[in-house]
Amino acid sequence: MAGGTELTSNSYIQHHLQNLVFGQLPAGYERVDAEGHSHVLDHAEWTIAHSPQEAVDMGFWAINLDTMGWSIFLGLIFLFFFRRVATAKQTGAPSGFTNLVEMIVEFVNKNVNDIMSVKNPLIGPLALTIFVWVTLMNTMDIVPVDLLPLTAQFIAGDPHFYFKVVPTTDPNITFGLSIGVFILIIYYSIKMKGVGGFLGELAFQPFGKYMVPFNLLLEGIALIAKPVSLALRLFGNLYAGELIFLLIATLLGAALPFFIGSFLGGVLQFVWAVFHILVVLLQAFIFMMLTIVYLSMAHEHH
C-alpha cells in the first residue's frame, strides 16, 4: 500500500492479514517508504517491515511483534486473574468470576481424569493453560476488524501501519503450541516405555518385525501428523473466520451505498460473530482434548 495508491478490497484484506514484522534487512537492500520514495540501505538494519515483501526478505529471524505482544498480554491476563482467584480467601459459596474459574477448572479436570489412565500432575495444568489461553487468543477474532488496527495506525501516525490482533491466525503461534505438545509426547513416550519400547512401537507395529520399513513409514507419518494437524486445524479455522469478517466488510461496502452497506455489514458481522463464538470455544476445546489424548497414548504401552 504505497502512498497515493487507492485502497481496494484486495489491498484492504491483505493489509489486515499482514503482521507487524521486525527483522533485519541486508546492506544494499532497496526500500520503498510510505510516500513511494526508494532508497538503498548502506548497512544491514534492524527495522519494521514496510511491506509483505520486506517481511519475507527479512528471513527466519524476523519476529511478528503483534502476534508475540498479544499472545503474551493475553497469557498474563490469564495468569493474573486465575492466580487472584486461587490466592483469594473465600468464605461461603463462590460467586461471580470465582465461580466461573472453578467451573472451568472442574471441567478441564474432569476431562483429564476421564481420558488419562495414568496420573500425571503436569497434564491438568497444561490442559487448563491450553484451553484458557487459546480461548482468549481466539476471542480476539470477535473484536471489530477495524477497531484495533485503525487505533494502532492512529497512534503510530502511519496509515500503512500493519497490526494483526488474532494470534491464532498466525501459524507461528499454532505450530509453537503444537510443537511444545509434540516434545512432551516424545518425552513421555520414552520415559514410560524406554528408548527401546518407543522405537519398537515405531518399527514393529502394526504389522510385526517382518514389515519394519512399512511400519516405520506408517507410524512415522502418524507421529508427525499429530503436531501438524493440531497446528493447522486451529490456524485454518481462525484464519478463515477472520477472512470472512473482512469479506463482509469489503463486499457489502463495495456493492452498496455507504450507509446501507455499513448497516448491513454491521448486522452480518454481528450474526457471524455470534456464530463464531462457538468456533472460538470449540477450537480451544478440540486442541485441549487432542493434547490430553495424545499424552495419554504416550503413557500407554501398545
Task: Point out the residues that are catalytic.
Answer: 229, 233, 237
Distance, CA of 302 to CA of 298 (rounded, Å): 9
Cβ contacts of 237-241, under 8 Å, gap ≥ 24: 237/279, 237/283, 238/138, 238/141, 238/166, 238/168, 238/169, 238/279, 238/283, 239/169, 241/141, 241/272, 241/276, 241/279
- Residue 259 burial (C-beta neighbours within 10 Å; 0-12, 13-18, 19+): exposed
Q: How many CB atoms lie under 10 A from the CB of residue 154? A: 11
Nearest to residue 289, comparing CAs of 137, 121, 134? Answer: 134
Q: Which cell goes with 140?
A: 480476539
53 and 25 Cβ atoms separated by less than 8 Å: no
Nearest to residue 65, comparing CAs of 53, 51, 48? Answer: 48
148 and 258 Cβ atoms separated by less than 8 Å: no
